[in-house]
Amino acid sequence: MSGHGPEEIKKTVRTYLKVLGVLVVGTIITVAASYIHFESMAMTVGLALLIASVKAGFVALYFMHLIDERKIIYQLLGLTTFFFIGLMAITIWASGDKPMNTVMP
């Protein structure tokens, strides 16, 4: 029955309240940043995406409990990277091939 005692519940509630605090502060920073004028649109979009990514990361890690699944996430990330590199290598390797019986301009 470990993990369901009063101390464990209090610890979990504290963790969720900390994440709530991060999300509230992130929202306040987002609203404050919307009033700042940046010279380039790319800087504005980049800052908005950075803040949104941090907030989404906290939601995924804590509310979706992905923080407890690090080993399998890293394994899946490694597998995805392996296949991505393989597919890019095949694409680059075949980029000079020409289809048979075609006329090139």
pLDDT tens digits, 26-77: 999 999 988 998 898 889 889 999 999 999 999 988 888 888 888 888 899 8
Distance set, CA 98 to CA 3, 38, 101 (Å): 62, 47, 9
What is the count of structural domains for the chain? 2
- Residues 40, 91: one domain? no
Full domain range(s) for residue 41: 1-64
Distance set, CA 5 to CA 14, 38, 68 (Å): 14, 50, 19
- Residues 54, 84: one domain? no
- Residues 58, 73: one domain? no
Give domain status of residue 92, yes or no: yes
Give domain status of residue 105, yes or no: no
Give domain status of residue 55, yes or no: yes
Task: Report the mean per-residue pLDDT for the chain.
Answer: 88
**Model-wide pTM > 0.85:** no
Distance CA 72, CA 78 (A): 10
- Residues 60, 73: one domain? no
